[in-house]
Amino acid sequence: MTDSRVLIVGGGSGMGLALADSLLAGGARVMIAGRSGERLAAAARRLDRGERLRTSQVDVGREDQVRRLLAEAGRLDHVVVTAADATGAYAPLPGFDVQAARSVIDTKLLGPWLIAKHAGPVLAPGASITFTSGIAAYRPGPGASMVASANGALEALARALAVELAPIRVNVVSPGWVDTPVWDTLAGDAKAERLAAMAARLPAGRIGRPADIAKAFEAVMGNGFITGTVVHVDGGHRLVQ
């Protein structure tokens, strides 16, 4: 990935931040984008890679901001979208707020679609776009109706775009449970207990780490013969009930 130019939408924390760190260590030039300017600034301080790292604040669900982001990014070899908004994303169906449901779709499905729509002019030959789905598409729990729907739809979107945007490659990485800051929102003080319980169920015997997912992204980005595919990095979660 040396000298590759990569845009990571959602690169301010969690899996996106781990990917940025790994790519920068390998000599890539990276732009991280996300909704929170404060989080992006903290990520930039942590990564500390000088001119090889840029940041840009964006709401991925707004087309004007996505258009501006891609124009600002310039020529790119790879685009990765890890953006997700856990706030209000999980709730029992009878009380699920419709605006919260729309927010899930805006961030998880419409946002990646907008990125793909406007990325064409800045992508180099042989470029790739990689989205982030998730285990909820296969093992949804109570309250996960919109997250499961968005993840499943995102995988269908990638297959359609792999045909429409060829020879640009479009793929999906689908993580299982990964120890990221999103669990502070989802589980609060019960985070450690919930992650430990899942680790005991998984064939891999542990919860995923952001670096595990970063390696999967890099494998997909670097293989020019992978397109329209979902790569599962879930510790065997799809194999257990």
Query: Tens of pLDDT along the chain (241 residues)?
Result: 888 999 999 999 999 999 999 999 999 999 999 999 999 999 999 998 888 999 999 999 999 999 999 999 999 999 999 988 777 788 888 999 999 999 999 999 999 999 999 998 999 888 999 999 999 999 998 999 999 999 999 999 999 999 999 999 999 999 999 998 888 877 788 899 999 999 999 999 999 999 999 999 999 999 999 999 999 999 999 999 7
Measured distance CA(148)–CA(223) in Å, rounded? 28
Return d(Cα 70, Cα 42) in angstroms, integer. 22
- The pLDDT of residue 89 is 82
CATH 3.40.50.2300 holds for 5-182+210-231: no
Can you give the pLDDT at residue 187?
A: 77
Beta strands (DSSP E) in the chain are: 5-9, 29-34, 53-57, 76-81, 123-132, 169-175, 230-233
Q: How many CB atoms lie within 10 A of CB 8?
A: 28
What does pTM read for this prediction? 0.94
pLDDT of 182: 82
Residue 84, pLDDT score:
82
- The amino acid occupying position 190 is A
Q: How many CB atoms lie within 10 A of CB 126?
A: 11
Q: What is the pLDDT of residue 50?
A: 85
Which residues make beta-bridge pairs with 172?
131, 230
Q: How far is CA 190 from the centre of its chain?
A: 24
Alpha-carbon radius of gyration of the chain: 17
Cα within 13 Å of Cα(161), Cβ side? 26
Asked whether the beta carbons of 69 and 46 are under 8 A apart, the reply is no
Catalytic residue ranges = 133
**Residue tagged 């030039």 (tokens):** 29
What is the residue extent of each domain of the chain? Answer: 5-182+210-231
* CB 169 within 8 Å of CB 119: no
Q: Can you give the pLDDT at residue 215? A: 97
Residue 208 DSSP code: B
Pairwise CA distance, residues 161 & 231, whole Å = 16
Distance CA 119, CA 128 (A): 10
Q: How far apart are CA 227 and CA 223, in angstroms?
A: 9
pLDDT at residue 46 in the model:
93
